[in-house]
């Protein structure tokens, strides 16, 4: 007997747009962080409200510590999911622009590497890529895709805060001692700065939130493949050899 649910799901997966999937993942992870921060803020309001007993305060403080750890987990899930999604998005778009990635870059996008076994069979395995390496690689791909240069200053305050927050994330995610689970106010302040800078970085590539991932020439028509660019300019009644795009969405008058 055919499982109609499985068949329907397979059909849906074939119709899925990888750019829509990536955008949806980024939006969901971003919303997770926002929700946890809202819960944290509401808890603080309750903790410092009039009439809270010492016993209640201690109970709330335990919840505050738990939410602090959740914020770190959710934020880094958001960053890592976004980095992976934007790498794949850049790979697809650069391919459409006749600027395909090198094979080694494709492996880095997919976060895999390979080895040759003694019997001559090639097998793939997960690549050992650090968090920062992955982030910087994503930025390089986005810069290439959008024709931009050096959008990330590694000496900026937010980036240094991000690097510091990685260490907090690591000990919270892989604790060896009860003290590894401690997240203090300074840790959260550092994470806040990192988050602000990361969002500003994403806006350079995707514009303001809510984020979408359209074909790159929808907002940068000058980067269309030449044959498509000429056809579109003719259809718009524009000089085929011109560079202006009047009336194009997001491109002015």
> Looking up tokens 């895709």, which residue turns up?
145
- Alpha-carbon span 253 to 249, nearest angstrom: 9
Same domain, 139 and 240: no
203 domain-assigned:
yes
Count other Cβ atoms within 10 Å, centred on residue 2: 6
Same domain, 192 and 224: no
Using a cut of 0.75, tell me whether the model's pTM lies above it: yes
Same domain, 205 and 221: no
70 domain-assigned:
yes
Give how many domains the chain has, as a whole number. 2
Domain that includes residue 58, residue range: 16-214
114 domain-assigned:
yes
Same domain, 228 and 210: no
10 domain-assigned:
no
- 200-212: buried (b, 16+ CB within 10 Å) or exposed (e) per residue? ebbeebbeeeebb
Q: What is the pLDDT of residues 41-79, one digit of tens each?
A: 988 888 877 677 777 777 888 898 999 999 999 999 999
Same domain, 235 and 170: no
Q: What is the pLDDT of residues 134-160, one digit of tens each?
A: 999 999 999 999 888 899 999 999 999
């Amino acid at each position: 007997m055919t499982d109609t649910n499985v068949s329907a799901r397979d059909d849906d997966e074939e119709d899925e747009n990888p750019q829509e999937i990536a955008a949806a993942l980024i939006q969901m992870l971003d919303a997770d962080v926002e929700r946890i921060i809202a819960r944290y803020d509401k808890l603080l309001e309750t903790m410092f409200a009039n009439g809270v007993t010492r016993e209640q305060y201690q109970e709330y403080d335990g919840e505050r510590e738990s939410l602090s750890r959740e914020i770190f987990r959710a934020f880094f899930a958001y960053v890592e999911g976004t980095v992976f999604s934007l790498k794949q998005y850049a790979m697809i778009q650069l391919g459409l622009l006749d600027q395909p990635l090198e094979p080694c870059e494709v492996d880095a996008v997919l976060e895999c590497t390979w080895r040759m076994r003694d019997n001559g069979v090639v097998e793939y395995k997960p690549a050992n890529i650090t968090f920062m390496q992955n982030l910087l690689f994503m930025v390089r791909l986005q810069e290439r895709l959008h024709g931009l240069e050096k959008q990330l200053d590694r000496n900026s305050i937010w980036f240094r805060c991000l690097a510091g927050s990685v260490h907090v994330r690591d000990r919270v995610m892989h604790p060896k001692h009860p003290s590894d689970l401690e997240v203090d106010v300074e840790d959260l302040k550092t994470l806040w700065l990192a988050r602000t800078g990361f969002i500003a970085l994403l806006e350079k590539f995707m514009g303001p939130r809510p984020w979408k991932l359209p074909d790159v020439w929808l907002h940068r028509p000058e980067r269309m493949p030449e044959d498509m660019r000429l056809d579109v300019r003719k259809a718009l009644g524009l000089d085929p050899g011109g560079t202006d795009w009047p009336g194009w969405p997001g491109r002015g008058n």
